[in-house]
Amino acid sequence: MKYKRKMNRRKFVKMSALAAAAAGVGTLLINYGCQSSRAKTKTGNLKMNPKDTKEVFLKCGACSQTFFCLLNREFGHPKENEERASFPLAGGFMLGHQCGMLWGAALAAGAESFRRNEGRSLAIASSITATQQLITSFTERTKSVNCRDISPVDFSSKTGRVKMVGQIILHGGLKNTHCFNLAEDWAPEAVRSVTAGLSYKQTGIYHHAVCCASEVVRRMGGNDEEMVMVSGFSGGLGLKGHACGALAAAIWMNTLTWCKKHPGETPPLFKPDESSVLKAFNNETNTEVLCRKISGQSFETINDHTKFIQNGGCDKLIQALSTVG
């Protein structure tokens, strides 16, 4: 019996090591930028039902990058640097806020909106509408937008990340964990939601529509495409008042700058406790992260949000975020 217990202990240690290695596979394979999983498709001939979501997830290593990659591929326009730059948005900035699947899908919606629409204002409005469709679809399935409510693992703590290893062992591998199953189930709905949102006819939009996330990117030197890409983040993601979209835009833009300078390399691990962007944000908001509380507003339309920004709303915060390297 003593010998048997010893062997079981050895077996458990071996399984734990294998699980830990598996957990790191996704991060290591990010160096390939999902290139091996991409199959170009024409915009007019969408599959609408990705069949390899879990494989892409395993290669990308983060839910945010997975959905940016998947949707870009479905629309026929992969964007390697931009996709890799979405990695830090996973786990709701590793703090349990909006699920990274939503941030990544919103970026893809913005990228496609830029290609489909003439004029930045119209593209921004269409991107926000598509993001709202994504949120509706996602919450119908999960009942919440926040990672902390959906995932059985708290990514913001070391204990939670250790628990992830246990979840991998319990479910017999990464591909059988809750987040992988959710990704597989929601991916077709995400494609349909973006397609429907971008097809909606925009009327009465201000000629010079602006939004908080796009303004952060503009002040950081971003181009029109990058500004539209993040526009769905605005107003707490789709104008819904959740965790600040300007913060997400600053995190993404800083990482994108790094990715452009280091093609094919893995972005530095986002550590909330060490992030200069998050520190600047907390200094301005006294650690409040919800858009509705920071702004004191609820935005019904893009025009409401445009008025708020044009009248100086959140200007000090936007400036603080856009000047942190």
Q: Are 77 and 115 in contact (CB under 8 A)?
A: yes
Residue 6 lies in a domain: no
Alpha helices of the chain — where are they, by DSSP H?
A: 2-29, 53-60, 63-75, 80-84, 90-91, 100-116, 120-142, 147-150, 158-170, 178-199, 212-219, 224-229, 245-261, 276-285, 291-295, 302-310, 315-322
pLDDT of residue 133: 98
pLDDT at 41: 32
pLDDT at 303 over 70: yes
Confirm if 302 and 239 have CB atoms less than 8 A apart: yes
Would you state the pLDDT for residue 266? 84
User: Residues 168, 177: contact at Cβ < 8 Å?
Assistant: yes
Terminal CA-CA length for the chain: 60
Q: For residue 247, how many other CB atoms are within 10 A of its CB?
A: 29
Q: How many CB atoms lie within 10 A of CB 286?
A: 7
- The residue written with tokens 């280091």 in the block is 262
- Is residue 40, in this structure, part of any structural domain at all? no
Residue 38 lies in a domain: no
User: CA–CA separation, 325 vs 313, rounded Å?
Assistant: 23
| Site of tokens 């024409």 | 42
Q: Looking at residue 8, what is its pLDDT?
A: 44
Write down the pLDDT at residue 163. 67
pLDDT at 3 over 50: no
With a cut of 60, say whether residue 29 has pLDDT above it. Answer: no
- Choice among 30-39, 164-173, 272-281 with the minimum mean pLDDT: 30-39
H helical segments located in 117-244: 120-142, 147-150, 158-170, 178-199, 212-219, 224-229
Is the pLDDT score of 28 beyond 50?
no
Is residue 5 one of the residues assigned to a domain? no
Report the 10 Å Cβ neighbour count for 195: 19
Average per-residue pLDDT for the chain: 85
Q: Please state the rounded mean pLDDT for residues 4-32.
A: 37
Domain assignment of residue 143, given as a range:
14-30+52-322
Q: What average pLDDT does this structure show over 183-196? A: 97
Which tokens belong to 83?
């996709």
Q: What is the count of structural domains for the chain?
A: 1
Please indicate whether residue 51 or residue 107 has the higher confidence score (pLDDT). 107
Domain assignment of residue 235, yes or no: yes
Spatial distance between the Cα atoms of 93 and 141, rounded to a whole number of angstroms:
22
Which residues are registered as beta bridge partners of 146? 98
Q: Is residue 43 part of a domain?
A: no
**24 compared with 227, residue with greater pLDDT:** 227
Identify the pLDDT of residue 176.
84
What does the pLDDT look like over 243-263, one tens digit per residue? Answer: 999 999 999 999 999 999 999
* Residue whose token pair is 């919450």: 139
Residue 160 placed within a domain: yes
Q: Does the pLDDT value for residue 114 go beyond 90?
A: yes
Contact 294, 117 (CB under 8 A): no
Specify if 125 maps to a domain. Answer: yes
CA distance 283 to 306: 25
The number of angstroms, rounded, from the C-alpha of 266 to the middle of its chain's C-alpha atoms is 16
